[in-house]
Amino acid sequence: MPGDEENGLLIDSGKKLPFIDKIIFTREKESIPRWNKFLQGYYDATGIGSDSFDQAVQLVGQGEATVTEAMAEQGIRLETTVAVSTYYMGFNMLDPLVGGSNAQERESARKLRQAISIAVDYEEFISIFANGRGMPAQSPISPGIAGYREGKEGINPVVYEWMNDQPQRKSIQVAKALLAEAGYPNGIDQRTGAPLVLYFDVTARSSEDRSKLDWMRKQFQKLNIQLVVRSTDYNRFQDKIRKGNAQIFEWGWNADYPDAENFLFLLYGPQSKVRNSGENAANYDNAEYNQLFEQMKNMDDGPQRQLIIDRMVEILRHDAPWLWGYHPKDYGLYHSWYQNIKPNRISNNNLKYLKIDAKLRAQKRREWNEPVLWPIALLLVIVAISLFPAIAAFRRHESSTAVRTASS
Q: What pLDDT is stored for residue 378 in this prediction?
A: 83
pLDDT on residue 263: 96
- Count Cβ neighbours within 10 Å for each residue of 334-347 and write b for 16 or more, e otherwise: bbebbbbbeeebee
Distances, alpha carbon 203 to alpha carbons 85, 239, 284, in Å: 19, 12, 22
Q: What is the pLDDT of residues 272-330, one digit of tens each?
A: 999 999 999 999 999 999 999 999 999 999 999 999 999 999 999 999 999 999 999 98
Burial letters 103-124, b for 16+ CB under 10 A, else e:
eeeeebbbbbbbbbbbbbbbbe
Predicted pLDDT of residue 80: 87
Local confidence band at 401 (pLDDT 50, 70, 90 cut-offs): low
CA-angle at 270, arms to 266 and 276, nearest 5°: 95
Residues near 92 by beta carbon (within 8 Å), at least 6 away in sequence: 98, 99, 244, 246, 247, 248, 249, 282, 283
Confidence of residue 405 (pLDDT cuts 50, 70, 90): low
If you average pLDDT over every residue of the chain, what do you get? 91
* Section 178-207 average pLDDT: 92
Question: Percentage of the chain surpassing pLDDT 90?
Answer: 69
pLDDT at 6: 87
- What average pLDDT does this structure show over 199-206? 86
Alpha-carbon span 159 to 326, nearest angstrom:
13
Q: Residue 206 — pLDDT band, cuts 50, 70, 90?
A: confident
Q: Would you state the pLDDT for residue 168?
A: 95
Tell me if residue 258 falls in helix, strand or coil: coil
How high is the pLDDT of residue 51? 81
- Model confidence pLDDT, tens digit, residues 335-363: 999 999 988 777 778 899 999 999 999 99
75-114 pLDDT per residue, tens: 999 998 888 999 999 999 999 999 998 999 999 999 999 9
Confidence bin at 149 (pLDDT 50/70/90): very high
Residue-wise pLDDT for 220-264, tens only, equals: 999 999 999 999 999 999 999 999 999 999 999 999 898 999 999
